[in-house]
Structures are given as C-alpha cells and as structure tokens.
C-alpha cells in the first residue's frame, strides 16, 4: 500500500516512516529538511526495500507542494492513506498574541493538515480502504497560558478530524486522531517530568498495526487519557492557579 | 513532531565505560542536519556515539557533548562495489543484517553491537583479527566531517588525505564525523566454528595465536590471570573459521540486553574480587575442558561475543574495571610476558582475565596499531590495581610496547609521549587543522593534546 507522510524527517514523523516501510508499505515523504529527507529516503529504500518518493517542501509556503505529492503518489500507484505528524511550537507562544506568530502556528498545526486532508479525501474515497491520521497533543486538552496558539490549533484540528470521521462514517475511509503525550523526541528532551515518555517507534508500529481499524481518538501513551480526564475535571478556581 | 529553533542542552551525568571518570556535562542531541550545523557557539564540543570508550573520549574537558545517535541512516549501498555509506551514529549491530543479506560484512568489528561507526573511526578500533584485517581505518573509503570553521568536508585518500589520517584514530578532536563510506568484504558463511586448544603458558599461547592468526577468521586466547603460581597463565586458544552455508536471519535479529556505561555501573559494589575471580577462572577452565573441542556459533555471537554476556561487565559495578591493553613487539613478547607474570604474582592484584591476539599494523600518530602481540588484562578497579598499572606503564616504556589510549581512562600523558613516537606530530597537525581547538574531551585534556 502507499502512504503519504507529511512532516516525515524527524521525531514522530521519521518513526512513522520507519514503521510503515518496515511493514512493507511504499511511501511519499514530505519535509522541509531536504538533507534529512534524502537520508531517510535512502535508508528506508536500502533497509526495507520499499519505494520512497521524497518531496522537500515547507507547508508554510502554501499548498503548492500537494500537486507534487499527487504526482509522486501517482507514479507509485495510488494513495491508500495520509499521515500528518507535523506541527510547530514557539517559545513566545505565551499569550502575547503576535498576529504573525499566531498565523504561522495556525498554518502548520491546523490549516496545512486540513488543506491536505480535504484535497486528497475524494481520491481516498475511491480506494478499497483508506486512512487519514492526524496527531494532536495533550497540551490541547485544556487551555493554559503556555503554547496558547499551538494548543488552540491542535484542538481545532481534533475537532475537524472528529467531524471528518463523522462525515466518513459508513465509507471505506478511516479517520484517526492520536493525542500524543510526552514523547522521546527532541521537543521533549530535557523535560523535567516524572511522567514517562512514549517511544516514537512503538507509536509508529501501533499506528501501522491499527491503520485500517476505526480507532477514533487514541491517547498515546494510553495513561494520558486518565491524566487528560483529571486535568479537565479540575475546577476553574484551582486550575487558574496551576502552573504547568 | 514539533520544530524548535535550536538544539536543547540537557545536563547529564556521563561515565566512562570503565567507571573511572564521571562528569556532569551538557549534552546536545541534534536530529537534523540544520540543527547540527547551527549548534555552534564559543564552547568546545565533542561527539559521542554509543559511549563505550573506557577512556572519557566523548565528554569532559568543559565541552558540550554532541550525541550522534539520531544520525543513523544508510545513505547508499553498492553491493557490486562492496561499499556502504552510513551516518556516523549507525551501530554495528544495525549494519550487519543489511550487509549480510548481500553476503557482505565489515571485516573489522569490535565485540559489542551498539558501538557506532563514528566511534570506530574516532578510536580506530580493531576487530577479532587485526593481524589479518588491520584496523578500522582500512574499512574507511571516505568520510564526511563537520567542523564549525570548515563546514561539511568529504575526506578521502585523494581529497583531504591528511585530515582523513588525522581523523581516523583522532579521538574526535578534528570535528564531528557525520558519515562514512565503508569497504565491505565477502562474508563467505553464516556460522562460525570455534576450535579450542588447551595451553599451559602465556608464551606458548602467544606463539600459537601468531601462527593461527594468518590462516583463520580469528585466534585469541583466554587465560587464568588470578595471581596463583600453579594456575597463572593456563588457558585456551580459540581459533575461529567461517562455515560455508546460509545465514540464519533470526540469529542476526535475536534480542539481547543492551548495556550502557551508566547501566554497567548500576550495581553499587563490585562482585569481582580475588575470591570470585579465582572461582570463576577455575570453573571456566574446568567447564571448557568438558565441552566439545569444536563448537559452532551463530554469526552474531561470534562477531559480538559480549552482547549476550554483558553480565561480565555489570559485575564490576560502580567501582568499575580497569583494562590494560598493549601491543608488545613480537621479538619482545617473551620477556614482556615473563615480567608481567612476575608483577602479577608479586602484587597479587584482583585480576580477572587475560587475553591475547596477534596484531599487524603501521604505527602512526596516536593510532593503536603495530606489529606484535596485543595483550589485554582486566582487573577490578582498586588501589592495588592502580599501583600495578603504574608499574605496567614502566614495563611498556621499557619494551617499546604501545598501550591503548581508548581503553585506559588513567593513562598518563608522560607514558603516551614515551610510547607513541608520533605524539608531537599529532599535536602539531591538530593545532594546524583546528587552531582554536574547538573539540576537546577529558582524554584530550589529560593527554595534553
């Protein structure tokens, strides 16, 4: 089968690409880091013997790259699914609301995913089985004074995927949304927390295993579902005093 | 999944594999090329692979440690030309299944699978049979080096040959090895037969390994090194040959428990002492005698004998171990071994094992490479041991032997200067290549590099 992974060169994206290639899938991988993309493409081809099309593109530059994704997928066959492990945070996303920063975070974390998913949805509906997978964050469980625009965009994305899942119910398209806790990636490196971090490669294998199942919303690592429930249950009078 | 502007520094307590050096240091772990090249400021840097150096070669000296584990991708593989290009963080254990599928392998591999290619280059390591296969630099066709002042440079025998020479066995002091093209050899078999020869003395064993090394896959010895006159030096010579036949893919993927420098030192005390070492040596000697003379093992276990025997290292616990590895010129081996025996029997150190193999190579700069018998002595770290090592240093100087810099976190600069004729040349060339000396480590500071 053929999957497109948008944001594939590092962290969770790289782990997904590795897991899907190891499971025998051909890939279209997209990232703004051209050198890493080339390296990953070679690695997956040599190690797992899969066909991999690499597209260097920055989603901040608009949706033009989606034509190249469509071309590359067409050369391999036809897309069976898309995964969107992309996103961006910013140190100064703390409620100062610089409009350009909010716009940029919104673009990467929400708009780019929505554009790509809606662009390829008609094509995916024609496939015998197809899947759309997006990734959110536990940071979006409840609004707080840090990662303000990031969390809002991820929450919007979760809402969009919930709607998309509803719209695709009864069709052959699976729509999945993974809410990620702390992961062993560069983003969470140095994070002082007693909460164990998730292994990106184990996540990749899990996503690959369940790619045809109607899993809906999945927390990863799983215990984050409990933590998220607890955070939501904290009364506002207490929550407003919490600093995390 | 998310992008941040730079690499995040994390204070981490790093330990040399022998437990001799511990230091809290800032670690960076870039996972993209742009992070690697933007990770530049006035602080000195040093690259780190698997962290298996006995000496503190990948941290210390006030440097930021740049962990290269994320750079572990295969960049190109040409089975017809027998070359593979990999990033420096690629481990030998990851590499073996890929090359073995094509009937190829790296002829020079140290004994633990999570050692990285970058580490092998920096320390110019040797494998099971350095007499026949040379050292790791013989496997390096070219490499890509990153230095903040030079950028990314591809070094080969035709371009930047002197920098390549300085980098292979340069202990990471010329910059960060990012990738390398490695020369592979035909594998010729999927299993290894190991023939055991019982021997009574060190001298007899040295002659036998020298004789066998040229005509077998490997030949090494194990000796009872505990200080008892009756049993000291007895042991076995193991001679390995590749059995023609198919490769068992399951063997290469079989699990093992990875030991790290920090994990090795988890036990708060050492279980090795004079009594336990004697018990172990006697038990091993007797058990081996009752095993078949020829045994067969999978390729993975033959190449990486310590992968599934890491308990040996863990038992040294937090106090750590000491490894003294030295190449003694062939014509001085007899007298060296005689003096070594006298030293061990008189000092009664808590020695655990002694092993030998034949070596051949051209000494140069600070590379551990020469013609002679390579002798490895493992001891529990203690005051008696350190005293013995000081006397072994003198013995090495006296016999023109070459102690291994990467295996000894205490080796004094004076001894290295005396034993490595090109010590000053290495310093001089390093100063020319990198005048501000942007790459430093505990090892470089200790040795005055």
Within 10 angstroms of residue B83's Cβ, the number of other Cβ atoms is: 17
* Pair B163, B108 in one domain: yes
Q: Is A89 on the interface with B (CB under 8 A)?
A: yes
Subunit contact B98:A46, Cβ cutoff 8 A: yes
* The predicted structure's pLDDT at residue B6: 67
Backbone angles phi, psi at A180, to 5 degrees: -95, 135
Domain match, B177 and B208 both: no
Task: Decide if A57 touches B, using CB distance below 8 A.
Answer: no
Nearest-Cα distance to chain A for B70, in Å, is 9
Angle B358-B363-B368 (CA atoms, 0-180°, nearest 5)? 60
Asked if the C-beta of A220 comes within 8 angstroms of chain B's C-beta atoms, the answer is no
Residues of A with CB below 8 A from B7's CB?
186
pTM above 0.90, yes or no: yes
Domain assignment present for residue B275? The answer is yes
Contact in structure between B342 and B42 (CB atoms under 8 Å) = no
* Alpha-carbon span B186 to B37, nearest angstrom: 36
First to last CA, chain B: 40
Q: Please tell me if residue A105 touches chain B, with a CB cutoff of 8 Å.
A: no
pLDDT, residue B1, reads 44
- The residue out of B187, B204, B231 marking a domain boundary is B187
Mutate to test the interface with B, among A9, A17, A150, A189 (most CBs of B within 10 A): A189
Q: What ranges do the domains of chain A cover?
A: 2-239
Does A58 contact chain B (CB < 8 Å)? no
Q: What does the DSSP 8-state code read for residue B405?
A: G
Report which of B381, B186, B373 is spatially closest to residue B270, judged by C-alpha positions. Answer: B381
Query: Is A11–B1 a contact, with Cβ atoms under 8 angstroms apart?
Result: yes
Tokens read off for A33 = 């880091």
User: Are B216 and B240 in contact, with CB atoms under 8 Å apart?
Assistant: yes
Which residues, including other chains, have CB under 8 Å from residue A103's CB and lie 6 or more apart?
Answer: none
B284 touches chain A (CB under 8 A): no
Residue B12 burial by Cβ neighbours in a 10 Å radius (0-12, 13-18, 19+): middle
In contact, B317 and B271? CB cutoff 8 Å:
yes
How many CA atoms does the CB half-sphere of A115 hold within 13 Å?
A: 18
Number of domains composing chain B: 2
Give yes or no: residues B271 and B336 share one domain.
yes
Q: What's the CATH number where B120 sits?
A: 3.30.465.10
Q: Round to whole Å and give the CA distance between A220 and A237.
A: 29
Looking at B154, B171, B187, the residue that finishes a domain is B187
User: Is B7 in the A-facing interface, judged by CB distances under 8 Å?
Assistant: yes
Q: In B, which residues are within 8 Å of A42 by CB distance?
A: 73-76
Domain boundary among B154, B187, B220: B187
Q: Is residue B125 domain-shared with residue B237, that is, in the same domain?
A: no
Interface test mutation site (partner B, options A11, A34, A43, max chain B beta carbons within 10 A)? A43
Q: Do residue B87 and residue A7 have CB atoms under 8 angstroms apart?
A: no
Contact A187 B1 (CB under 8 A): yes
Residue A234 to residue A143: CA distance in whole angstroms: 12
Find which of A7, A186, A201 to mutate to test the B interface (most B CBs within 10 Å of its CB). Answer: A186
By C-alpha distance, the chain A residue nearest B70 is A10
With contacts defined as CB-CB under 8 Å, which chain B residues touch A33? 32-34
- DSSP output for B250-276: HHHH---PPP-HHHHT-SSS-S-SHHH
The CA angle A194-A200-A205, to the nearest 5 degrees, is 130
B431 touches chain A (CB under 8 A): no
Q: Are residues B81 and B129 in the same domain?
A: yes
pLDDT per 10-residue tile (average), chain B, 449 residues: 62 94 94 89 93 96 95 97 98 94 94 96 96 96 96 95 96 97 92 94 95 94 93 94 81 84 91 90 93 92 88 91 96 96 90 92 94 95 90 96 96 97 97 96 96
Chain B nearest-CA residue for A5: B1
Pairs from B107-111 (Cβ < 8 Å, separation ≥ 24): B107/B133, B107/B138, B107/B139, B107/B184, B107/B185, B108/B133, B108/B134, B108/B135, B108/B136, B108/B138, B108/B139, B109/B303, B109/B304, B111/B303, B111/B304, B111/B305, B111/B306
Q: What is the DSSP string of chain A?
A: -EEEEES-SSHHHHHHHHHHHHTT-EEEEEES-HHHHHHHHHHHHHHH---EEEEE--GGG-STHHHHHHHHHHHHS---EEEE--EE--TT-SS---HHHHHHHHIIIIIHHHHHHHHHHHHHHTSSSEEEEEEEEGGGSS--SSSHHHHHHHHHHHHHHHHHHHHHTTSSEEEEEEEE-SBSSGGGTT---SSPPBPHHHHHHHHHHTTTS---EEEESTTHHHHHHHHHHS-HHHHTT---
Look up residue B102 and give its two tokens.
Answer: 């094509």
Contact A88 B76 (CB under 8 A): no
Question: B141 φ, ψ to 5°?
Answer: -80, -40
What is the distance in angstroms between the Cα of A90 and the nearest Cα belonging to chain B? 7
Question: Do the chains contact at B98 and A47, CB–CB below 8 Å?
Answer: yes
In sequence order, which residues have a C-beta less than 8 Å from that of residue A99 and are 6 or more positions away? none
Neighbours of B157 (CB within 10 A): 11
Task: Decide if B436 is inside a domain.
Answer: no
Residue B319 belongs to a domain: yes
B31: chain A residues, CB-CB within 8 Å: 10-11, 14, 185-186
- Alpha helices, DSSP H only, in B179-273? 202-213, 249-253, 261-264
- Residue B340 dihedral angles phi and psi, to the nearest 5°: -60, -45
Both B198 and B340 in one domain: the answer is yes
Fold classification of A2-239 (topology level): Rossmann fold (3.40.50)
In B148-186, the DSSP E strands lie at 151-156, 176-183, 185-186
B83-87 and B74-78 beta bridge pairing: antiparallel
Torsion of CA A36, A42, A44, A48, to 10 degrees: -170
Per-residue pLDDT of chain A (244 residues), as tens digits, is: 999 999 998 999 999 999 999 999 999 999 999 999 999 999 999 999 999 999 999 999 999 999 999 999 999 999 999 999 998 888 888 877 788 888 999 999 999 999 999 999 999 999 999 999 999 999 999 988 888 999 999 999 999 999 999 999 989 999 999 999 999 888 777 777 788 899 999 999 999 999 999 999 999 999 999 999 999 999 999 988 887 7
Which residue on chain B is closest to A182 by alpha carbon?
B1
Residues 6+ away with beta carbon under 8 Å from B358: B129, B130, B131, B209, B210, B213, B219, B372, B373, B374
Question: Encoding tokens for residue A164?
Answer: 């998309």
Sign of the Cα pseudo-torsion (A184, A188, A191, A196, in order): negative
Is any Cβ of chain B less than 8 angstroms from the Cβ of A75?
Answer: no
A-chain residue closest to B2, CA distance: A88
Task: Judge contact between B312 and B215, C-beta under 8 A.
Answer: no
Residues B1, A7: C-beta atoms closer than 8 Å:
yes
Inter-residue contact B136 to B121 (CB < 8 Å): yes
Q: Which residue has the tokens 């520094």?
A: B9
Largest CA distance in chain A: 57
Residues in chain A: 244
Residue B437 belongs to a domain? no
- Which chain A residues have a beta carbon less than 8 Å from that of B68? none
Q: Chain B partners of A47 at a C-beta cutoff of 8 Å?
A: 74, 98
User: CB of A110 within 8 A of CB of A160?
Assistant: yes
CA-based nearest residue to A177, from A146, A202, A140, A147: A140
Q: Is B4 on the interface with A (CB under 8 A)?
A: yes
| Domain match, B217 and B247 both | yes
Residue B197 covered by a domain: yes
Confirm whether B44 is domain-assigned. Answer: no
Q: Does residue B178 sit in the same domain as residue B287?
A: no
Residues sharing a CB contact under 8 Å with residue A4, sequence separation 6 or more, in sequence order:
A27, A28, A29, A30, A69, A73, A79, A81, A82, A83, A120
Residues in chain A with CB shorter than 8 Å from the CB of B3 are 87-89
Which of B59, B15, B12, B13 shows the shortest CA–CA distance to B320? B15
Instruction: List the domain range (segments joined by +) for residue B319.
Output: 191-418
Residue A154: closest C-alpha in chain B: B2
Distance CA A34, CA A44 (A): 15
Looking at residue B91, its pLDDT comes to 97
Q: Are B64 and B14 in contact (CB under 8 A)?
A: no
Q: Say if B3 is an interface residue toward chain A (CB within 8 Å).
A: yes
Distance CA A158, CA A120 (A): 18
Residues A18-34 have pLDDT tens digits of 999 999 999 999 999 99
Burial of A199 (0-12, 13-18, 19+ CB in 10 A): middle
Residues of A in contact with B74 (CB under 8 A): 42-43, 46-47
């Amino acid at each position: 089968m053929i999957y497109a992974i948008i944001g594939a060169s590092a962290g969770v994206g790289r782990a997904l690409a590795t897991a899907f290639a190891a499971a025998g899938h051909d890939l279209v991988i997209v990232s703004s880091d051209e050198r890493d993309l080339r390296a990953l493409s070679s690695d997956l081809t040599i190690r797992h013997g899969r066909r991999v099309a690499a597209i260097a593109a920055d989603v901040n530059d608009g949706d033009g790259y989606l034509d190249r994704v469509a071309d590359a997928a067409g050369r391999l066959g036809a897309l069976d699914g898309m995964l969107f492990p992309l996103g961006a945070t910013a140190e100064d996303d703390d409620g100062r609301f610089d409009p350009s920063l909010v716009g940029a975070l919104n673009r990467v974390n929400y708009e780019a995913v929505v554009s790509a998913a809606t662009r390829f949805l008609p094509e995916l509906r024609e496939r015998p089985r197809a899947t759309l997978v997006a990734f959110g964050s536990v940071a979006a469980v409840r609004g707080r004074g840090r990662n303000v625009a990031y969390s809002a965009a991820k929450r919007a994305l979760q809402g969009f995927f919930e709607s998309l899942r509803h719209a695709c119910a009864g069709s052959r398209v699976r729509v999945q949304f993974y809410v990620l806790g702390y992961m062993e990636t560069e983003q969470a490196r140095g994070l002082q927390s007693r909460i164990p971090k998730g292994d990106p490669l184990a996540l990749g294998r899990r996503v690959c295993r369940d790619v045809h199942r109607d899993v809906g919303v999945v927390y990863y690592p799983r215990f984050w579902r409990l933590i998220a429930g607890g955070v939501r249950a904290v009364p506002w009078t207490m929550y407003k005093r919490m600093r995390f | 999944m998310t992008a941040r502007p730079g690499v995040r520094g994390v204070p981490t307590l790093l330990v040399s594999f022998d437990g001799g050096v511990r230091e809290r240091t800032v670690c960076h772990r870039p996972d993209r090329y742009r992070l690697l090249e933007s990770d530049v400021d006035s602080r000195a840097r040093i690259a780190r692979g698997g962290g298996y150096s006995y000496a503190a070669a990948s941290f210390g000296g006030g440097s930021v440690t740049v962990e290269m584990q994320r750079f572990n991708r295969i960049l190109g593989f040409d089975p017809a030309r027998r070359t593979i290009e990999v990033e420096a963080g690629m481990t030998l254990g990851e590499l073996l299944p890929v090359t073995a599928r094509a009937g190829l392998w790296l002829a020079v591999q140290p004994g633990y699978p999570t050692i990285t290619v970058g580490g092998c280059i920096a320390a110019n390591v040797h494998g099971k049979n350095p007499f026949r296969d040379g050292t790791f630099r013989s496997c390096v066709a070219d490499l890509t080096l990153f230095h903040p002042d030079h950028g990314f440079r591809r070094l080969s025998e035709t371009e930047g040959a002197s920098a390549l020479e300085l980098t292979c066995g340069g202990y990471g002091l010329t910059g960060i090895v990012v990738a390398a093209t490695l020369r592979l050899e035909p594998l010729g078999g999927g299993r290894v037969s190991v023939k055991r020869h019982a021997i009574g003395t060190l001298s007899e064993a040295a002659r036998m390994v020298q004789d066998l090394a040229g005509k077998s896959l490997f030949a090494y010895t194990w000796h009872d090194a505990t200080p008892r006159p009756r049993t000291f030096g007895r042991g076995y010579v193991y001679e390995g040959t590749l059995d023609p036949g198919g490769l068992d893919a399951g063997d290469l993927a079989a699990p093992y428990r990875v030991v790290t420098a920090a994990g090795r030192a988890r036990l708060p005390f050492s279980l090795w002492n004079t009594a336990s070492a004697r018990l172990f040596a006697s038990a091993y000697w007797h058990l081996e005698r009752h095993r078949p003379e020829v045994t067969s093992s999978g390729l993975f276990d033959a190449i990486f004998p310590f992968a599934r025997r890491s308990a040996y290292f863990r038992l040294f616990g937090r106090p750590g171990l000491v490894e003294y590895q030295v190449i003694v010129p062939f014509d001085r081996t007899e007298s060296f071994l005689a003096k070594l025996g006298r030293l061990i029997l008189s000092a009664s150190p808590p020695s655990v094992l002694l092993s030998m193999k034949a070596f051949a190579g051209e000494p140069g700069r600070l590379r551990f490479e020469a013609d002679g018998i390579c002798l490895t002595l493992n001891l529990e770290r203690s005051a008696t041991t350190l005293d013995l090592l000081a006397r072994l240093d003198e013995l090495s100087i006296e016999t023109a032997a070459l102690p291994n810099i990467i295996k000894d976190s205490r080796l004094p600069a004076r001894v290295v200067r005396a034993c490595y004729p090109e010590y000053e040349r290495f310093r001089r060339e390093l100063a020319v290549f990198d005048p501000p000396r942007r790459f430093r480590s505990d090892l470089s500071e200790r040795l005055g590099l």
